[in-house]
A and B are shown apart, each in its own frame.
Chain A
Amino acid sequence: MTPLSSGSRAAARGWSDITIRNLFVIPTVAFLIIFNVFPLLYSLGFSFTDFRASSKDPVNFVGLKNYVDVLADPVIWRSFATTLWYVVVSVTGQFIVGFGLALLLNRPIPGKGLLTTLLLLPMMLSPVVVGLFWKLIYDPSWGILNHALGLGKVAWLTDPSLALYSVAITDIWMWSPFVMLLSLAGLSAVPKHLYEAASIDRAGRFYTFFRITLPLVAPILLIAVIFRTMEAFKTFDIAFVMTGQPQAELISSRLYKMAFQQWQTGPASALAYIILIMVLCITNIYVKYLNKAKER
């Protein structure tokens, strides 16, 4: 550790490097422990009890009962299945739209910079604002979507068979730019001489795409897909703001209702931990493929 220069104010007060380092680090660590680590461990404790935040009844230890009950609840099971279907639809849509836009933008076109910036705007908005905004667009009476498509009075958000897809369309609109951004970075990194060699060999467009473009962009696309999958599993705000349909109830919304509407704090904590384990598993897959992509 190098000593402070004799002229500095800290040195004049007799502070060493270690003291200054601690002054910066200790408040941050304390903040993290108080607001992140402690609630995490405290809620782990709750997940093994019958604690209700709205009740003054004595708290009893119930072991793994909450976990068993949560995993045997058909409503929660349906929410997990809905969430998986939502993730599949949403991430597939984002991948197709995002990668398609990136392919379009990966060529010399006038106003490319401005167009890219405009396309990135949805990603910068707050999810709640996006949810409310799309709720107005979907409105069956005076929403612009039905009017523009000439569909009459389609109830996008109240029809049980359409509600989930309507939320997924909103999510696709919001997060396709993210996939586009990563895909553009990957596409711009493909060496041009490979395309030149392919054209000399009279390779067709499909051949060039499937043998050169896609294999070289695949690692970064995979990262984009895993990252979006991880986020889509945790979606709460958009779905919660847009629809209350049980058929479109994602697991985060279910958790919110259990914890803050039904006040089942113990089972809600158990469910939160199950979601945490699931997200950790996805994160591990992400980390694994991120390292593989780095190695390339």
Chain B
Amino acid sequence: MNIAVFNQKFLGPASIVVSILGILFLCQPWVAFLHSWSVLVMLIGLIAFNVSVHIAPPLERVDEDDTGPVSLSQTIKTGAGHG
């Protein structure tokens, strides 16, 4: 797995989840420990998001003659190749 795929699958979504968790930790009224560490969690989410958006998305592989999608799952999903 290269960095672009890792970013698209894990880093990008994780940064959003961590940011949301940080906001919830900051504003929840129950656990003081979570509140006191919330800013650090938000900062991690913020930095991860900024790293994530600066990594180019993975290039989609296409056939040399550009006749259609490469993967079988995508072929089934789009219905191409039938008839």
Contact = CB atoms under 8 A, between A and B. Distances in A.
A71 B36 contact: yes
A104 B39 CA distance: 42
Given A71-B39, A80-B35, A281 B29 contact: no
Interface string A284-295: 110010000000
A41 interface: no
B16 A285 contact: yes
Q: Which of A72, A84, A277, A288 has the most CB of B within 10 A?
A: A277
A59 interface: no
A277 B42 contact: yes
Tell me what chain B mostly uses at the interface: helix, strand, loop, or mixed.
helix
B27 A84 contact: yes
Contacts of B16: 284-285, 288
A9 B42 CA distance: 54
Given A71-B36, A284-B49, A288-B16, A84 B28 contact: yes
Contacts of B39: 67, 71, 274, 277
A71 B22 contact: no
Nearest to A87: B27
Q: How large is the interface on A (under 10, 10 to 19, 20 to 34, 35 or more residues)?
A: 10 to 19
Contact of B27 (A71, A72, A81): A81
Contacts, number: 53
A65 B40 CA distance: 14
Contact of A281 (B22, B28, B32, B36): B22
B20 A72 contact: no
- State the main secondary structure of chain A at its contact with B: helix
B68 to A, nearest CB: 21
B23 interface: yes
B74 to A, nearest CB: 17
A72 B33 CA distance: 9
Contact of B35 (A67, A71, A83, A284): A71
B7 interface: no
Given A80-B26, A284-B19, A284-B49, A278 B42 contact: yes
A277 B46 contact: yes
Interface in A46-101: 67-68, 71-72, 77-78, 80-81, 83-84
Given A71-B38, A274-B39, A277-B43, A282 B27 contact: no
Interface of B: 12, 15-16, 19-20, 22-23, 26-29, 32, 35-36, 38-39, 42-43, 45-46, 49
17 contacts: A67-B39, A71-B38, A72-B36, A77-B35, A78-B29, A80-B27, A80-B35, A81-B27, A83-B27, A277-B39, A277-B46, A278-B22, A278-B42, A281-B20, A281-B23, A285-B16, A288-B49
Nearest 8 Cβ contacts at the A-B interface:
A84-B27, A81-B29, A281-B19, A71-B36, A80-B27, A284-B49, A277-B42, A281-B42
